[in-house]
Amino acid sequence: MHFDISQRAQRLTSSAIREILKITEDPSVISFAGGIPSPQTFPVGLMKEACARILDEAPDAALQYAPTEGYTPLREWIADRHDVTPDRVLITTGSQQALDLLAKVLVDPGSRILVENPTYLGALQAFSLSEPALVPIECDDAGIVPEALTGAAIRGARFVYTMPNFQNPTGRRLPLARRREFVAAMREANVVIVEDDPYGELAYIGEPLPTMLSMNGEGVIYLGSFSKIVAPGLRVGYAIAPEPLMKKLVQTKQASDLHTSGFVQRMVYEMLRTGFLDAHVKQIRALYVGQRDAMLASLASHCASRMSWNVPEGGMFLWARVLDAVDVTRLLETTLAPVSGPRVAFVPGSPFYAGVADTHTLRLSFVTVPPPRIEEGVAQLAAALARLS
Amino acid sequence: MHFDISQRAQRLTSSAIREILKITEDPSVISFAGGIPSPQTFPVGLMKEACARILDEAPDAALQYAPTEGYTPLREWIADRHDVTPDRVLITTGSQQALDLLAKVLVDPGSRILVENPTYLGALQAFSLSEPALVPIECDDAGIVPEALTGAAIRGARFVYTMPNFQNPTGRRLPLARRREFVAAMREANVVIVEDDPYGELAYIGEPLPTMLSMNGEGVIYLGSFSKIVAPGLRVGYAIAPEPLMKKLVQTKQASDLHTSGFVQRMVYEMLRTGFLDAHVKQIRALYVGQRDAMLASLASHCASRMSWNVPEGGMFLWARVLDAVDVTRLLETTLAPVSGPRVAFVPGSPFYAGVADTHTLRLSFVTVPPPRIEEGVAQLAAALARLS
């Protein structure tokens, strides 16, 4: 049997990250690779209570087909948190699905969409199925450079995709003044902003900055997720969209998977309504900032002469750059097959670029392994750097 | 803000069925509309045990990011049931998602895909996002007519989509001899068969017929679901695909929602491994065949002079045809706003057609309301028919 694969699927490649994550399934590997939340943060006790309550009190509704838009009390909770009306909230199967839906609804083959450079690899993959023309926009250490947002490339773009808080992969946060400039520039250019915000709650310095959604509700599609603050295995995310887009997003989701599991939506809501989240997020922040600091300290003592890195103000990742003499692909091969000591995984930076890549970059996650192993892993990374420089 | 909606999304319409289902959320409406499993069939007790066991024994893995392919023990269980290797099984977010993935992987704009006429509306919607040219194939009361499968329309088609068991919407089952002819013809024409089989276990007469998958594993993509035999609200389905397609399906699913909730996958597996399913399916069959018979008896006593219908050998639906003088849209308006008595919902047949529609058809589900209400609803339907003929 011969199979004719569609053009778009032919072009799709497996995420380099997912391939590296397979290696990290071996628990002896010290993984700085994935954005894998620490299982310590999963509210298992509350989940048990939630499951029992749902199956005692509303099994028929929780297990039945349900509206595509999502479970109403969960939509109301989200709407309240973001000060929007519930009819603008669509529950999605993780926020990855929201990226797929947005591309389906807003992108024709060849449509221009603007992306940060580097940007989230999962977004590039989701968008690629709709065959857009990706236009990388200029970024510096703080994120998007508002002055660069001019000219023909911007006007007529279907949307601009940005992760303003603790971006995956760079960990950087867009400062407040730049947010305001960016939102104003996009409003002026009539370009929709897709604000992807899975890490927004994980701010380690000061309070979270205002969302772009709060600055221009009519021009921003906000994507949220419970993966980093409750648990990724439930696959519950959401989109908050301007009213004129909701109908098409709902129709498209209906065609894509009918609806997100009503059972897991209720699990999330039953936990949220206990009011646990804010205290829980504080605990997660305390855990992760400690791990971040452990990684920063280890890097300072082992790698200072051969690598530079940023100090993320939140999230899960820091972004590093090796000396020009070092090949990052060879570095990964070396840390995965060391002469002695533990194997260490990380993700090279190149796959995250939509435009010209800085091939000497890498992404390091500090959330997956505890501080003693962070120290051990960074020492191993330093040994490999020494061997290759 | 102005939004440029993609061509494909502009063409997408909301399912007429989903709109009618909104009306049936009012419990006073007697619904023959949806393919909504009876909540009596949900194994709530086993589910409670499954949730407790998962959260006691493997919370970290169940709540974490997980492989796109699905939970290995569940894939093995499915593979064993269908006598294939587990590496050919992909867990999907309901089988609706499998339809979306197949269109993404196999359909370019304008690609020909063959569909039964009428066919499952959700498939038409999922496929439409990839902008195929739909080619309806000739069907009679038993399903696809193998003799019609010749000529230029067949050759070069990307796939043929069929629901051989108790098809939605017609309830018909393709006889064994026709299955064999059909599989042979498609193998000869080098056209992949997509065998969608959500109702296969719900056979009320004799044993289930052999799947097309069992006749030509290399040329059939089989779609299965736990929605009708466990519970739809979990959103767990699966695809069994020939090996050369698996990699692209997995990559595409990764881009679409990363993976189906590991928690609900484990819920399904924890129930399945108790061995409950076969006895459970027998109970569902006994329940639904009783409801089918109640509907057939009610139709015979109230509607025989003004409507004809088939006798489905399984599944959830029967297919009826009113006299040419009756307008089915007006019939629905009348049953939804009766002069007296309960409101009754059903689904007109026209939206299910990809080719020329028989506008005098309707789909009646016998699984959602219990026999006394079936009798009441059919009487109301008969009253409306009498008024309009």
B82: domain CATH number is 3.40.640.10
Quick: pLDDT tens for A222-238. Answer: 999 999 999 999 999 99
B227, B78: one domain: yes
Strand A143-144 versus strand A159-162 pairing type: unpaired
B296, B356: one domain: yes
CB within 8 A of B9, min separation 6: which ones?
A104, A105, A106, A248, A251, A252, B129
Closest chain A CA to residue B228: A64
Rounded Cα gap, residues A207 and A284, in angstroms: 15
A69, A214: one domain: yes
Chain B residues inside the 8 Å CB shell of A61: 233
Rounded Cα gap, residues A164 and A166, in angstroms: 7
In a domain, A69, yes or no: yes
Chain B residues inside the 8 Å CB shell of A51: 48, 51-52, 55
Whether residue B122 lies within 8 A of chain A, CB to CB, comes out as yes
pLDDT given at position B232: 97
Whether residue B100 lies within 8 A of chain A, CB to CB, comes out as yes
Quick: pLDDT tens for B96-148. Answer: 999 999 999 999 999 999 999 999 999 999 999 999 999 999 999 999 998 88
Q: Give start and end residues of each alpha helix (H) in chain A.
A: 7-11, 16-23, 44-57, 59-63, 72-82, 94-106, 121-128, 176-189, 212-215, 243-257, 262-272, 277-302, 328-336, 371-388
The mean predicted confidence, pLDDT, of chain A is 95
Chain A residues inside the 8 Å CB shell of B106: 3-6, 9
A296, A266: one domain: no
B243, B286: one domain: no
Pairwise CB contact (< 8 Å): B248 & A93? no
In a domain, B57, yes or no: no
* Percent of chain B predicted with pLDDT > 70: 99
pLDDT class of B205 with cuts at 50, 70, 90: confident
What mean pLDDT comes out for the span A17-46? 89
CB within 8 A of B116, min separation 6: which ones?
B136, B137, B139, B143, B144, B161, B162, B163, B167
Closest chain A CA to residue B191: A1
Top residue of B95, B218, B263, B268 to mutate, by most chain A CBs within 10 Å, is B263
Residue ending a domain, among A272, A287, A322, is A272
Residue ending a domain, among B272, B296, B314, is B272
B219, B306: one domain: no
Nearest residue to A94 (alpha-carbon basis) of A293, A212, A234: A234
How far apart, in Å, are the Cα atoms of B210 and each of B164, B177, B194, B227?
10, 11, 15, 21
Q: Which of residues A22 and B384 earns the better pLDDT score?
A: B384
**CATH number of the domain bearing residue A295:** 3.90.1150.10
A229, A112: one domain: yes
pLDDT class of B72 with cuts at 50, 70, 90: very high
B33, B170: one domain: no
Rounded Cα gap, residues A183 and B270, in angstroms: 48
Cβ contact B189:B154 at 8 Å: yes
pLDDT given at position A148: 85
H/E stretch holding A318: strand A317-322
Chain A residues inside the 8 Å CB shell of B4: 106, 111, 158
A376, A319: one domain: yes
In a domain, B51, yes or no: no
Whether residue A189 lies within 8 A of chain B, CB to CB, comes out as no
Chain A residues inside the 8 Å CB shell of B61: 233
Inter-chain Cβ pairs, chain A and chain B, closer than 8 A: 254
Pairwise CB contact (< 8 Å): A125 & B14? no
Chain A residues inside the 8 Å CB shell of B93: 93, 235, 257, 260-261
B325, B253: one domain: no
pLDDT surpassing 80 at residue A336: yes
In a domain, B73, yes or no: yes
pLDDT given at position A268: 98
Into how many domains does chain A fold?
2
What mean pLDDT comes out for the span A167-172? 98
Token pair, residue A215, equals 């600055």
In SS3 terms, B4-51 reads as: CCCHHHHHCCCCHHHHHHHHCCCCCCEECCCCCCCHHHCCHHHHHHHH
In a domain, B54, yes or no: no
Closest chain B CA to residue A247: B14
Q: Which of residues A324 and A102 earns the better pLDDT score?
A: A102
Quick: pLDDT tens for A236-250. Answer: 999 999 999 999 999
Pairwise CB contact (< 8 Å): A256 & B96? yes
Residue ranges making up the domain that contains A228: 65-272
Work out whether the CA dihedral A57, A63, A66, A69 comes out positive or negative: positive
A294, A260: one domain: no
Q: How far is B319 from chain A (nearest CA, A)?
A: 22
Chain B residues inside the 8 Å CB shell of A234: 63, 261, 263
Whether residue B133 lies within 8 A of chain A, CB to CB, comes out as no
Q: Which of A6, A61, A231 lies at the smallest CB-CB distance from B105?
A: A6
In a domain, A52, yes or no: no
Pairwise CB contact (< 8 Å): B14 & A104? no
In a domain, B48, yes or no: no
Quick: pLDDT tens for A121-155. Answer: 999 999 999 999 999 999 999 999 988 888 777 88
In a domain, A134, yes or no: yes
Pairwise CB contact (< 8 Å): B122 & A52? no
Residue ending a domain, among A237, A272, A307, is A272
Quick: pLDDT tens for B292-327. Answer: 999 999 999 999 999 999 999 999 999 999 998 899
DSSP annotation string for B128-173: HTT--EEEEE-EETTEE-GGG--STTTTT-SEEEE--SS-TTT---
pLDDT given at position A19: 75
B266, B292: one domain: no
pLDDT given at position B21: 75
pLDDT given at position A15: 67
pLDDT given at position B22: 78
Q: Which of B5, B42, B125 lies at the smallest CB-CB distance from A105?
A: B5
